[in-house]
Amino acid sequence: MLQKTEQLKSERILDELRVRQRTKEVVDVEEERVKVVIFICGANRYAFYGADIREILPTCEISWVPCLPDYLPGLLNVRGDIESVIDIRHFLGEEKCGHGKHLVAMAVRGEFHSGIMIDSIEDVVDIPLSTIYPPLVTLNGAARDLAIGEIEYGGAMVMLLDIEKLAAKISL
């Protein structure tokens, strides 16, 4: 009888150890990811958060309006809504080009609604939040004011731009 009691006790201990071992197993949790839109403007690649870009419009006619600042080439009719168009080159320090073919990224963030002229879309990717690095403190130039971080794409660092910072510059 004593032997049977010891065997039951040892089985209970082993069962308890198995339960503890299962609770200690590491659960592989997927890291939070964010979508970014990587685009080319001038000679460089830049990115916006995907949540800030509603759509990309193909080359379309921008209606010129007199007395607008240089960074606002005009207005655009998007399915009956009149939207301003921003030439982001002005804020990035990129060389201004003529009236060539540009895509327009429709940006929406809070009360800010506007089209942003870009040269082309490179990619739309989901990246882990941990791969967004703070912008370099040594970053110089006009783009520094719009930078919110940097991401690695295609073996190079791509500056992540903040739509809110762009909106603040325009509202000034």
What would the pLDDT profile of 18-46 be if each residue is shown by its tens digit? Answer: 877 776 555 556 788 999 999 998 888 99
* Per-residue CA distances from 122 to 28, 41, 68, 70, 154 (Å): 31, 10, 30, 26, 10
Number of residues assigned to the chain? 172
Name the pLDDT band for 93 (thresholds 50, 70, 90). Answer: confident
What is the C-alpha separation between 93 and 144, in angstroms, rounded?
A: 10
Domains of the chain (ranges; CATH) run: 33-171 (2.40.50.180)
Of all helices (H) and strands (E), which one includes residue 68?
A: none
- Does pTM top 0.85 for this prediction? no
Phi first, then psi, for residue 62 (nearest 5°) are: -105, 125
What pLDDT is recorded for position 55? 92
The whole-number pLDDT of residue 125 equals: 93
| DSSP letters spanning 23-47 | HHSPP-PPPPEEEEEEEEETTEEEE
Taking only the tens place, the pLDDT of each residue in 118-172 is: 999 999 999 999 899 988 766 666 678 889 999 999 889 899 999 999 988 886 5
Residue whose C-alpha is closest to residue 117's, from 20, 41, 22, 44: 41
Give the span between the Cα atoms of 137 and 144, in whole angstroms. Answer: 9
Q: Which pLDDT score, from 0 to 100, does residue 5 have?
A: 58
- Stretch (H or E) spanning 85: strand 81-87
Q: For the segment 118-131, what is each residue's pLDDT rounded down to a tens digit?
A: 999 999 999 999 89
